């Protein structure tokens, strides 16, 4: 094998090895990323996030919270389970970026009560939700992460 062939062979072989060995970054979708912000990734010690009620507005007016109300917490688990500090359990779903569906399952009747929140914003520290109340008013809730 002459020099040119040797160099060509080594170049092709090493290029193939290098390219195949290089790590590839898989970018998560926005929806996937938002779910992880809400409930964790599922890796060790990162399986659920608890969000604590911090403030509330009714029809745009600040609604002062009592100490008991401020201790209300929602816990979202990465696998879709839901619980809160009122001892409700159920499941959560996020099919689009701006909707969070929360279903409470009552035991032992297995009766279900679903409500759908509009997600105003979510980041690593705060979750802002909006929901139309049964009396027709618009409730806006702000949660902070409480881990």
Partner 1 sequence: MFIKFQSLIINLKPILMIGFIFMSAKAISQDTLSGNYPSLTMKSGLHVIKNVVTVKGDLNIEPGAKIELIEPGILVCEGAVNSRGEQNNKIEIYGKSNLEGVGLVIRGIDSNRNSKIDIQYTTFKSLQLPLFFDFGWQRSGVNISDNYFINNIGKVSIIQVLNPPFNFNLDSSYIDFKVRNNIFSSNNAAIYFEDLKSDHINFEINNNTIVGNSIYGFKNYNISTNILYGRVDQLFSRFNPKIDNNSFAFNYLIDNITDTVVHAANFGVYGTDKTIDFKNNYLGSSDKNKILKSIYDQTLNYNAPKVEFEPFLIVPAANTPSHIYEINNVDNSELQDTLMIKDPLKGLVLKANNKLNYAKTIVQYSYFKDDSSLIKIDTSVTYDLQPDGNATKITITKNVNTSKKVGFYTIRDMVDSKGDYVPEVRVGYIAYLNDLRRRKLIAELVKDKKAEDSVKLPTPAAAAPVDSIKNQFQKIESPLKSRLEFSLYSGLAIFNGTISQRNLFGNDKNLYNGLNVNYTIFSNLSASMTIASFKLSNSDANSNNNEQQARGMSFATSMLGISTSVNYDFVDNRLYTKARKIRPSIGLGLDVNSFSPSGIYNGVVYKLQPLGTGGQLVDSTKKAYSSLALGYFFNFKVRYQINRFNSVGFHLSIHRSMSDYLDDVGPDLYPAADKIMNSKVDNKEVALYFSNPTSRNVLGRYRNSPDNSKDGYIIFGVFYSRRLFK
Residue numbers at the binding site for partner 1 (CB under 8 A):
2-3, 6-7, 10-11, 14-15, 18-19, 21-23, 25, 27-30, 33-34, 37, 40-41, 43-46, 49, 123-125, 145, 147
- Residue (of 92, 100, 93) closest to 128 by Cα position: 100
Select 32 or 59, whichever has its Cβ closest to partner 1.
Answer: 32
Residue 92: CB minimum distance to partner 1, A: 17
Q: Which is nearer to partner 1, 38 or 72 (CB)?
A: 38
Strand partners, 74: 51, 84
Q: Nearest approach, Cβ of 43 to partner 1 (angstroms)?
A: 5
Shortest distance, position 105 Cβ to partner 1, whole Å: 26
CA nearest neighbour of 101 among 128, 143, 131? 131
In degrees, to the nearest 5, what angle opens at C-alpha 128 toward C-alphas 107 and 53?
Answer: 55
Nearest 5 degrees, angle CA 61-CA 62-CA 66?
140
Cβ-count burial of 51 within 10 angstroms (0-12 exposed, 13-18 middle, 19+ buried)?
buried
Least distance to partner 1, CB of residue 147, Å: 5
Rg (CA), the chain: 24
CB of 109 to partner 1, least distance (A): 35
Classified as helix, coil or strand, 23 is: coil
Between 103 and 142, name the residue whose CB sits nearer to partner 1: 142
């Amino acid at each position: 094998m002459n020099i040119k062939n040797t160099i060509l062979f080594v170049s092709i072989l090493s290029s193939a090895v290098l390219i195949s060995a290089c790590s590839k970054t898989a970018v998560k979708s926005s929806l996937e990323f938002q779910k992880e912000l809400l409930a964790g990734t599922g890796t060790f010690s990162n399986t659920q996030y608890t969000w604590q009620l911090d403030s509330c507005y009714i029809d745009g007016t600040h609604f002062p919270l009592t100490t008991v109300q401020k201790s209300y917490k929602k816990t979202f688990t990465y696998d879709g389970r839901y619980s809160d500090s009122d001892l409700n359990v159920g499941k959560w779903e996020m099919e689009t970026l701006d909707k969070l569906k929360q279903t409470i399952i009552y035991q032992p009747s297995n009766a279900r009560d679903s409500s759908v929140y509009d997600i105003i914003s979510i980041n690593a520290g705060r979750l802002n939700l909006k929901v139309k109340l049964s009396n027709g008013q618009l409730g806006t809730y702000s949660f902070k992460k409480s881990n």
